[in-house]
Homo-oligomer: A and B are copies of this chain.
Amino acid sequence: MKFVIIGGDAAGMSAASRAKRTMPEMDAIVLEKTEDVSYSACGMPYNIADADRPIDDLVVRTADVFRNKQGIDLFTGCCAEAIDVKNGSVTGTIDNGESFRFFYDRLLIATGGRPIVPDLPGFDLPGVVALKSLADGRRIKHYIKDNDVKKAVIVGMGYVGLEMAEALRARGIEVDMVKPGSDLLPWMPRELAAEVKRELDGNQVRLHLGGEITKIEKTGARLGVVCGDRTLPADMVLVAVGIEPNSQLAADAGIETGVGNAIAVNHQLQTSNEAVYAAGDCADAYHVVTGQKTWIPLALRANRAGWAVADNVCGQATSLEGVAGTAVFKVFNLEVARTGLSYEESNRCGFEPVDVTIQTRSRAHAHPGAATIWVNLIGDKKSRRLLGAQMVGREGVAHRINAAAVALHGQMSVKTFSETDLSYAPPFGPVWDPLLTAANQLLKKMT
């Protein structure tokens, strides 16, 4: 059995490792275009925050461990350029200029995603950076040091942008953030987004909402991000407007792509060609709330899908139900989490959403050290089901959201969720967990 894997990041290496463990006699061939495999990509902002920590701290396993201990044929610096689905082969170029061709019995496309870079003047200037690969992280750390960066502009205000704002502030760097839209975290109710804004304000991150960017220009030794009639000066510009799936290779081979231009896969992670699987940020998934396809590129799904592909390739039929879109991020001392659909998404998906936003405390009555927790909970008036939850607070948010996520997987009604037996002790929350208080109020509003 020849199992060829394009891409040696989360999904690809998870698949290779698991397949070799299950079928030690197989050939597991991984083609990775960079030099880095198996690292904590999500850990990069926290590493960048600390000048003294080497970026290689983030490496979980080196290429040599995969090669020597796990027996994986791992080729780094190897760029796949074409898939021939008819003959079952992948061709491409090694970084020494030689070309290669590998035949496969089963193929996994795990090419990940890439940062979107706006097609505007100046986004290719030195000092304009993006953060996706470990090489990007390394480059940013070097750039900050070598150029004594004192002022940065972040284009975009998503997860990565916000995490990087915190990281750069930790380095004593002034931070401006800019985006064309008028709302910070537009998928969030305004009360919750206002909390995030307050946290950014309190940490001297300047937000420029509604800033239509026209170009980046070089002004002396500095850069200038031009938006409208103002120019934001910077020593470094981080472009963090989102990512897009690396699906072109698949599309060129005639493999179907779908939502968000990601590679379309079924519950078994198979593409439109049954010998070809896709997993990770390049592939789509079913959403457990809508039952429809979605593209939510996140780390857990990538790892899980990699394993599922390995199981299927090894003959252990496996299917994955789908994702709930659960995500959490930290913005300075604030925890921000979501799962399922937002109110707008619920509307768009044909539900009849009703939502509540409540404010409660992170600890019991009279327990010292309590902070405010905000909860937004969404139910469907027709089916009575829970559709989504969002939370913001200084503590007790990151893991609480999982209770709602499990409820979404269970297609639970708001009523049943409101009756769940959640934990209580004074240091950790009120008697009625914030999610339960929200569920109780949502129930009233739904009747």
Where the two chains meet, the residues of A that have a C-beta atom closer than 8 Å to any C-beta of B are: 10, 40, 42-43, 46-47, 57-58, 60, 288, 298-301, 303-304, 320-330, 335, 337, 339, 364-368, 396, 398-407, 409-410, 412, 416-417, 419-429, 431-433, 435-436
Closest to A303 in B: B431
B419 touches A402 (CB 8 A): no
A421 touches B328 (CB 8 A): no
- 19 new A-B contacts, CB < 8 A, other than A42-B425, A398-B425, A402-B435, are A40-B431, A43-B364, A43-B365, A46-B367, A300-B433, A303-B431, A321-B416, A326-B423, A328-B425, A330-B428, A335-B428, A339-B421, A398-B428, A402-B423, A406-B407, A406-B420, A409-B410, A409-B419, A410-B416
> Which of B406, B422, B426 is close to A410, meaning CB atoms less than 8 Å apart?
B406
In the assembly, what is the distance between CA of A367 and CA of B330, in Å? 13
In the assembly, what is the distance between CA of A402 and CA of B399, in Å? 9
Number of copies: 2
Measured between beta carbons, the chain B residues less than 8 angstroms from A303 are 431-432
A409 touches B424 (CB 8 A): no
Which of A43, A402, A424 is the most central at the interface, judged by chain B CB atoms within 10 Å of its CB? A402
B299 touches A424 (CB 8 A): yes
Known A-B contacts A366-B58, A410-B410, A428-B399; the reply to A323 vs B421 at CB < 8 A is yes
B403 touches A423 (CB 8 A): no
Measured between beta carbons, the chain B residues less than 8 angstroms from A58 are 365-366
B421 touches A405 (CB 8 A): yes
Closest to A316 in B: B447
Known A-B contacts A40-B366, A364-B42; the reply to A422 vs B398 at CB < 8 A is no
In the assembly, what is the distance between CA of A412 and CA of B288, in Å? 15
A419 touches B328 (CB 8 A): no
Closest to A366 in B: B57
In the assembly, what is the distance between CA of A335 and CA of B407, in Å? 24
Known A-B contacts A43-B366, A432-B300, A432-B303; the reply to A405 vs B423 at CB < 8 A is yes
Known A-B contacts A403-B403, A403-B405; the reply to A42 vs B424 at CB < 8 A is yes
B42 touches A421 (CB 8 A): no
In the assembly, what is the distance between CA of A86 and CA of B147, in Å? 88
Closest to A395 in B: B399
A402 touches B403 (CB 8 A): yes
Measured between beta carbons, the chain B residues less than 8 angstroms from A320 are 419
